[in-house]
Structure 1
Amino acid sequence: MPEFVRIAPGALVIGRPLPWDVFDSDGNVLLRQGYVIQTETQLEHLFERGRFKPRKIDLPKEETFEDLRQRNPFAEYAELLSTLEATLNAITSRDPSSQKRLMGLSRMVERTCMEAPDASLALVHLYSINPTIHEQILFYAILSQFIARQFGLESKRTSLLTSAALTANLALVPVADQLNASNVILSDDQRTVIERHPNRSVKAMEAAGIDNKLLLQIIAQHHEKADGTGYPEGLSGSDILPEAEIIALSERYVAMITKRAYRDRMNIADARRLISTLGEDKFRPAIPRALLELLGNYPPGVLVRLDNNEVGVVTQRASRARGTIVQAIFGPRGNRYSGTFERDTRLIDYMIRDHEEPETMPSMDFSLLWGFRS
C-alpha cells in the first residue's frame, strides 16, 4: 500500500473541492478529488479518518512544458490554485524561475479552457459565492481567455493576456481578503493601495526579470477607462489596449457575482443587464458584447429551476443545434437525486423558469455532471 499521511487541520475548507483523493487507514477511497465538503461534520470526519498520498510537483525543466493529461477543471482546481499561489510568491521573492512558472501556468489555464470550455466557465460560477483572492485571479484569467477569443484577439496576444490576468493584481494579494471583508468605507490609505497596485505589480514583475513590454503595459492599464476616469494615468479611448479592457471587464463581472461583506452577490440576469450598459464610456462596445455572447442567458455552472420544479446545474450553453442543457440534481419536492438527469430546456416540461441563488453550493463531485471520471 502506498504511504499515506493524515490530513492536518486547516488543510481542507468547507465549500472548496478536495485537492486530492481521500483514503481511510486501509487505503480504501472515502472521497474523490474534486468533491466539495459542505458541513462541519463531514470536515471533522475527514480529519479523524482521512488520509492522503502526498504528490511531488516538480518545476518544469524547460521554459514551457506539455501536460498531456485530459483536462478535468474540477479535479485540477486545487492544483491550479496552488500553482498560481506558488507562481505569485516566486515573482514577489524575485525567484529566477518566475518567468518559467508563469509561462507554465498560463499554458495550463489556456489548455484547460480550450479542452473543457463549459466546465472551465462553470468554475467561475460554482465557486464565486465567497472566493479567495487566488480564486478570483484564476477566474479573471479564465474569463479573459474566453472573452479574447470571442472578441477576435489573435492567439499570441491572447496567451500574453492570460499571463497578464494572472499577475495584474499581484500587488493586491496581501490585502485583498481584508478589503473584501470590510463593510465600511475605504480609508485613504486603502484607496491609495488600490490605485497604485497596477504600477506596483509592474515593478514586481520587472524585479523578477519579467520584462515583456506588452505584458507590462497590459498590467499597467487594466484599470484605465475609455472615458478617462480610470487610473493610474487617466488614459482614454484607443490609448488603452483591448487586452487591458478585457481584464478590467473580467474583474468587474467576477465582482458582480461575488458576495462581499458590504453587499450581496448579483444574480446572472442583473449582471448581464449591467454589462450591457458598459459600452463606449467604460469599454470598447465589442468587449462587453463579447462577454454577453460568451455567457448566454444561462452560463455553465449556474443553478436554475425548471418548469417541473426540478433544480439543476447548467452544463452546456444553448446553441443552434440544441437548447441549454441542465443536469437536474434536486427533484420537484426538494429531494436530492441519487444521480443526475440531463434535461434539454427546449422541451416544455424542462424549460427554465428562473435562476436559483443558493447561499452555498450543493455538496457533490461536479466532475460527474460534465462526464469526467476519476
Structure 2
Amino acid sequence: MTSLVRIAPGALVIGKPLPWDVYDVDGNVLLRQGYIIHSDAQVEQLYERGQFKPIAPRPRKLEQHTDERPCNPFAEYAELLATLETTLSAVASRAPSAKSRLLGSARMLERICKQAPDATLALVHLYSVNPNIYEQTLFYGILSHFIARQFNLEHKRTTSLVVSALTANLALIPVADQLNASNHVLTAEQRAVIRKHPERAVEALRAAGISNTRILQCIMQHHEKADGSGYPAGLTGSDILPEAEILALAERYVAMITKRAYRDRMDVAAARKLLHTLSNGQFRPSIPRALLEILGDYPPGVLVRLANDEIGVVKKRPEGHRGAVVSSIISPRGQRYTGTFERNTYEPEYAIIRFEDTEVMPSMDFSLIWGFRNL
C-alpha cells in the first residue's frame, strides 16, 4: 500500500477542491477528494492532522521540468514527494519509463533549487523533525545540488549527482521506517541490509536500464571514507569520487538534524560544530566547508528566538552588513501572530539569541514567509 504523506503547507488553496482524499494518522478518511476548503481554520486543521496517499502523476514532457516558470517549493512539495515515490517504484519494477522519470525528477528538483534557493533550503529544516524516507531522500537531493553548485560543477555532473542522491537508498526504502523507529542495537540482518544497500541500488538501476558510470560509481562509493574505514570496498583518498563524498555529507547532515528513536535531533549549531570535525580523515576538507558556507550560521527554515522574545523563522541568510532576515510568527507572550513580521537581526532589538528547538513545527502556510501566493 502506498504510504501516507503529510500535507505540506502551501499545497492547499481556499476555495479550490482537495486534489486527494485526506486521512488522519490512523488511516481514517477525514475529507474526500473534491471537498472545497472554505476557511483558514480548515486549512490549519488539515496541515496539523491531515495526510494523503500520493497519486501517480501523469507523465509530463521533460521540457516541463526544465522551464523557468515561477515556482513555490512549498506548494510543489507534495508533488515532488509523489513524483519521487512513483519514480523509485518505476526503477524497482524495471519500468520502461524509469530512466526518463529519474531525469525528470532530478530536473524538477533542480528547477526549484535554482528558482527559489532560500525557500528550497528551508524545506530541509522545516520538515526535518520526523521525515519519512521519501522526504529524507528529497533533502539529500536538495543539499547535493547546492553543494555541487558551490563547487561550480558542470550541469551534467550536477544532474548526475542529484540522480544519485535520489536513488542511492533505494534498497533501504522497505526497512527505513523500521530502522529509524528502532531504539535497539541493530541486528546482524539489519547491518547486512545496510552494508549491501549501495550494491543493491546499483543492481536495480542497471536492471532498469540506467548505465551512467558516474551515477553508479557515486552510489557504490557514497559510504566509503577517505581514511579507508567505509564500505563496501574500503576505498581511500582520491579513489573516492568527489560526488560520492558530497552525497555522503548530505546524508550525514540530514541524519544530524533528524530525530531517531535512539537519539534526539541536533540543532543547527551543534550540527555545524560536528561538520567542522568531519574534514579530519573522512572527507576532503573542502566538502564540509562548502556545506558550512551554504548553511551559514542560521540557515533558512530554522526557528530562532529573538532578543525581544519573539520566535521566528529564518527567511534569508546574512548579506553584507545585514543580519539574517527573520519572519516573526510567535509573540513574546507565546501567541501566534495572524501574519508575519520581518525582522533584521542586525538590529540589537531583534538579535538572535538562540535556536528554538521543537518536536512539532508550527502549523502554518510557510510559503507566505517567502512571499508566495500559490503561483
TM-score between the two structures when normalised by the length of structure 1? 0.89
Q: Name stretches of at least 5 consecutive residues in structure 1 with no aligned partner.
A: 1-9, 48-53
Q: Name stretches of at least 5 consecutive residues in structure 2 with no aligned partner.
A: 18-33
- What is the one-letter code of the residue matched to 1:291? L
- What is the one-letter code of the residue matched to 2:363? S
Report if aligned partners of 1:34, 1:77 keep a CA contact under 8 Å in 2.
no
1:62-100 deviation line (CA, Å, top 9, x unaligned): 588544531111000000000000000000000000010
- What is the one-letter code of the residue matched to 2:217? Q
Report if aligned partners of 2:316, 2:324 keep a CA contact under 8 Å in 1.
yes
Instruction: Note closer, same or farther for the CA distance 1:244–1:271 as it changes in structure 2 (3 Å cut).
Output: same
- What is the one-letter code of the residue matched to 1:297? D
- Compute the displacement of 1:324 (Å): 0.3
Corresponding residue of 1:293: 293
SS state at 2:293 partner: helix
Q: Find the aligned partners of 1:89 and 1:12 in 2 and give their Cα distance.
A: 16
Corresponding residue of 2:105: 105
- Compute the displacement of 1:30 (Å): 3.8
SS state at 2:71 partner: coil
Report if aligned partners of 1:21, 1:31 keep a CA contact under 8 Å in 2.
no
- What is the one-letter code of the residue matched to 2:90? A
Q: Find the aligned partners of 1:172 and 1:26 in 2 and give their Cα distance.
A: 36
Matched, 1:256 2:256: yes
Matched, 1:279 2:282: no
SS state at 1:328 partner: strand
Q: Find the aligned partners of 2:136 and 2:334 in 1 and give their Cα distance.
A: 31
Corresponding residue of 2:219: 219
Q: How does 1:115-154 map to 2 (within 5 A)?
A: 115-154=115-154
Report if aligned partners of 2:65, 2:108 keep a CA contact under 8 Å in 1.
no
Q: How does 1:1-374 map to 2 (within 5 A)?
A: 13=6, 16-17=8-9, 19-21=11-13, 23=16, 27=36, 29-30=38-39, 37=46, 39-40=48-49, 43=50, 57-61=57-61, 65-374=65-374
Report if aligned partners of 2:315, 2:369 keep a CA contact under 8 Å in 1.
yes
Report if aligned partners of 2:329, 2:339 keep a CA contact under 8 Å in 1.
yes
| Coordinate RMSD, CA, aligned | 2.5
- What is the one-letter code of the residue matched to 2:308? N
- What is the one-letter code of the residue matched to 2:185? I
1:207-255 deviation line (CA, Å, top 9, x unaligned): 0001111111111000000000000000010000000000000000000
Q: Find the aligned partners of 1:365 and 1:18 in 2 and give their Cα distance.
A: 5
- Total equivalences in the alignment: 354
SS state at 1:276 partner: helix
- What is the one-letter code of the residue matched to 1:86? T
Instruction: Note closer, same or farther for the CA distance 1:344–1:228 as it changes in structure 2 (3 Å cut).
Output: same
Report if aligned partners of 2:37, 2:43 keep a CA contact under 8 Å in 1.
no
SS state at 1:343 partner: strand
Report if aligned partners of 2:256, 2:265 keep a CA contact under 8 Å in 1.
yes
- Compute the displacement of 1:17 (Å): 3.7
TM-score between the two structures when normalised by the length of structure 2? 0.88
Q: Find the aligned partners of 1:165 and 1:36 in 2 and give their Cα distance.
A: 33
Report if aligned partners of 2:121, 2:300 keep a CA contact under 8 Å in 1.
yes
- What is the one-letter code of the residue matched to 2:158? T
Q: Find the aligned partners of 2:35 and 2:95 in 1 and give their Cα distance.
A: 41
- Compute the displacement of 1:159 (Å): 1.1
